[in-house]
Structure 1
Amino acid sequence: MDLLTPDFGLIFWQILIFLVVLFVLSKFAWKPMINGLNERENSIEEALLSAEKAKNEMAQLKADNEKLLAEARRERDHILKDATAAANKLREEAREQASHEGARIVADAKASIDLHKKAALADIKEQVATLSVQVAEKILREKLSDDKAQKEYVSKLVKDLNVN
């Protein structure tokens, strides 16, 4: 039964050795382990803070990118609107210029036609006058070929002059 109930001396030495081992472990083993655990805890906390900071920065960058994209879209829409307006203005100006040019060409053509028409009428009048003179000359030569006819014609002309 001695083995089941230890002596007071054995208990004393076991407690003393336990306290010495406890002191040695606390002095040389637990402090470095606790310091290592504290350092690891701090590094994990710093890593979590860095990750949170990076996450916030990424969210900020994403918001900035979205803002830049929206700005670029507005700018693109504005440029397209301006380009469309400029194209419409150019098209309208070209249409007006073509209309004015067409009206000018038509007016020039009418003026040219009128000029040619007047020239043709003047030429026709001249030809008619020339033909009339030639016909009258032939008629007068034929009628006034003898002296008696010439005297009658002259007296008729003098008579007409006196009446007028």
Structure 2
Amino acid sequence: MTEPHMDEEPPEHGRYALYLEALDVVPEADEAELVAAVLRDECGSMAQSAVNRHMERRAAELLTDAHFPDWARMMATNIGDRDFLTGRLREWTLLRAIALDEPWTAEEVTSASDWFQRTAAAAEIISSPDALNLLAEHGRARRVRNAASRRVQRPHQRSS
């Protein structure tokens, strides 16, 4: 009797790697179709993880680009009611609003996820004194408060 090889990768790991490769090079015209196809994978958590990685990369690339709103609408349509992905897209949109000095509220920032607060406190693209002061005073974690405080004190120097 032979035992299964314990060092073999589950099939979803291979699909995940393939999805990431495809999402990295997908032409903009085909992005919506590929995102939708990935999200139809039988392993929902793996599919959402792959789409989140893609979304992180694309949102960072497009954050201050005029195409971001169209891209965000396309993503919202494709991710549907998947709570984690919709929340993360909403937070990327909030980061954009702060970066471009568009309207945002203190409640949006203070109630946002730890990921958002860490990203906003450390992101060089965020230079809003109001947002940084808010995070320095009301950030959920000491790490966020400290990073934002350093940025407020030295707004034109890179944070470490």
TM-score of Structure 1 vs Structure 2, range by shorter chain: under 0.3
Q: Which has the higher helix share?
A: 1
**TM-score normalised over the length of structure 2:** 0.18
Radius of gyration: which is bigger? 1
TM-score by length of 1: 0.18
If asked which structure has higher relative contact order (CA below 8 Å, sep 6+), I would say 2
